[in-house]
Homo-oligomer: A and B are copies of this chain.
């Protein structure tokens, strides 16, 4: 077995007749080192194909401390985001990361509790903070306080573009709206009546505003007409009322797009109405209670945001930004998936 020829700082130091410290410093832009020496080192490093081993380097450094605040809206959805964050942490923790995860629930906990936690993260001088599920204006100020202290903030699911967060990990709602429209169009292709209604979540959230706009814009080119849009306010009772009202006001509905996870009341309505099976129905998200309706054909397709991936990406990129000083794009999007009964099996 041949002796391995790994090139390390020692190899380079010897080769160039400098100290290992010099080699090490050459790769840290904040480290003082003469221009020429740095240049020389970096050049020969490239020649040897040498890259510092992040593992070994992190080993001799202070741990990176990351705080996570999850203010859950729809529980299942945010659970998946959290699982993504945890999974990324699990994959990266050998790099000496400490992770402080706090989970609050809208309804049970108050916004003030959430903001208090952000202040706690500030006091503890964490290196990075991930905020998920918060879009309210009042959060901006807290994010900026963190940023002022040199703490890098990532947001998940909501953008907070007016804050000084480092980046956001988001669903691409513009694309989702277009996909929903195209699916409706495809399913209505040879249909005679193409009247379509949309059921949204809470109109107040930026999410649904984008979805409405995008779905509406794409309706024409996909050859159908949106006759009405109903706000379910993300509450089951309201959704139930709305679906009844919709079919009363438009008895000849040909297609439905539900842009929120609040689609079960609609499913139940369709199930009760015998011939409603022929109504085209495009839903959102993937969760347990939805499965039977996809399998029975009440739902034709649902669009999945992959919240796990959103959480994973947020943690992963925040770490890389912290550890490698890697540049991060301001927004990273998850790629929405079309889920049908035929591939549902892959998601359960």
Question: Interface on A for B, CB 8 Å cutoff?
Answer: 1, 4, 6, 53-56, 58-59, 62-63, 94-96, 98, 125, 172, 175, 178-179, 181-183, 186-192, 218, 300-301, 333, 335-338, 340-343, 345-347
14 contacting pairs across A/B (C-beta < 8 A):
A4-B62, A54-B94, A55-B56, A55-B95, A175-B342, A175-B343, A175-B345, A186-B340, A189-B189, A218-B342, A333-B346, A335-B346, A338-B340, A338-B343
Q: Smallest Cβ distance from A219 to chain B, in angstroms?
A: 12
Set of chain B residues within 8 Å of A183, measured between Cβ atoms: 340
Complex Cα distance, B56 from A227, in Å, reads: 62
Query: Are A341 and B59 interface neighbours, CB within 8 A?
Result: no
A181 to B342, CA, bound (A): 9
- Contact (Cβ within 8 A) A125 B1: yes
Bound complex: CA A193 to CA B338 (Å): 26
Chain B nearest CB from A347 CB (Å) reads 8
State which of B54, B95, B175, B181 has its C-beta within 8 Å of the C-beta of A346: B175
CB distance from A104 to the nearest CB of B (A): 24
Docked complex Cα distance between A301 and B182 (Å): 10
Contacts of A341 in B (CB 8 A): 182
Whole-angstrom CA separation of A98 from B343 in the bound complex: 37
Chain B residues within an 8 Å CB radius of A53: 94, 96
Decide if A337 touches B338 in the complex (CB within 8 Å): yes
**A162-B189 Cα distance, complex, nearest whole Å:** 46
User: Complex formed: what's the CA distance from A88 to B190 in Å?
Assistant: 45
Closest to A53 in B: B94
Q: Can you tell how many copies of this chain the complex includes?
A: 2
CA distance A187 to B182 in the complex (A): 11
Pairs of residues from A and B, 5 with the lowest C-beta to C-beta distance, nearest first: A190-B190, A55-B94, A338-B338, A178-B342, A182-B342
Question: Smallest distance from the beta carbon of A7 to chain B beta carbons, Å?
Answer: 12
Residue of B nearest to A62 (CB): B4
Interface centre among A96, A125, A192, A218 (most CB of B within 10 A): A96
Cβ-defined contact, B333 with A179, below 8 A: no
Contact between chains at B179 and A342 (CB < 8 Å): yes
Bound CA span A125–B333, Å: 42
Q: Are A55's CB and B59's CB within 8 A?
A: yes
CA distance A6 to B93 in the complex (A): 12
A178 and B54 in contact, given A63-B4, A187-B189, A190-B191 (Cβ under 8 angstroms): no
Q: Contacting A59 at CB < 8 Å: which of B56, B186, B336, B347?
A: B56
Instruction: For the complex, give the distance between the alpha carbons of A342 and B125 in Å.
Output: 43
Closest-by-CB residue of B relative to A57 is B94
A189 — which chain B residues lie within 8 A by C-beta? Answer: 187, 189-191
Residues on B with C-beta less than 8 A from A175 are 342-343, 345-346
Residue in B closest to A56 when the chains form the complex, CB atoms: B59
- Which B residues touch A347, using CB under 8 A? 335
Pick from B192, B300, B340: contact of A179, CB below 8 A. Answer: B340
A172 (CB) vs chain B CBs: closest residue? B346
- Across the interface, name the chain B residue whose C-beta is closest to A280: B189
B342 in contact with A335 (CB, 8 Å): no
Which B residue's beta carbon lies closest to that of A344?
A: B175
